[in-house]
Amino acid sequence: MPPRLRVAIGADRAGQQYMSVLRDDLRQNARVASVINTSSDHPDAVTYPVIACEAARLVVEGIVDRALLVCHTGLGMAIAANKVPGIRAVTAHDSLSVRASVESNNAQVLALGQGVIGLAAARRLAAEWLTYRFEATPTTAAKVDAITAYENRPRRHLL
């Protein structure tokens, strides 16, 4: 079995219900070494950009390996997390996308939408997500390297 993962989890008010169930699932999963909650004790006071960026920061700093985020659609969390340099965050609500996000794109952050999929599907996808590892083939590594190079270019050279 690969090394156990350290996972950050977070949700805004619209994702709190799923997050509490997913957090418990993560804590009970043999593939997970630790779980850090980036949500506030007062979820009404913290918005998804703050939660997502905190989780992404933990990934970039090497404190956790991955982050699982929940909001109403998953879109806002992924957009916010992607603003942190070095992060590849996706919103995925099907098995193929979850698998490809990790194996092909080396995404470290998965965002789910509580208003988009049922709780059983969210739990299944989160469990599947833990089983995948990035496969650094020449093709996948080259594509991820190209994304990273683009991200690291000075702003004046983006176009």
Give catalytic residues, as residue numbers. Answer: 71
pLDDT at 159 over 60: no
Residue whose structure tokens are 């702003």 = 155
85 CA to centre of own chain: 14
Average pLDDT over residues 39-51: 75
Q: How far apart are CA 20 and CA 149, in angstroms?
A: 37
pLDDT at 66 over 70: yes
Q: Which domains are seen in the chain, by residue range? A: 5-151 (3.40.1400.10)
CA atoms within 13 A on the CB side of 151: 13
pLDDT band with cut points at 50, 70 and 90 for residue 46: confident
Task: With residue 35 as reference, give the H or E element that holds it.
Answer: strand 32-37
Q: Could you report the per-residue pLDDT of 104-137, keeping only the tens digit for each?
A: 999 999 999 999 999 999 999 999 999 999 988 8
Average pLDDT over residues 81-103: 96
CA atoms within 13 A on the CB side of 136: 1
Average pLDDT over residues 93-112: 96
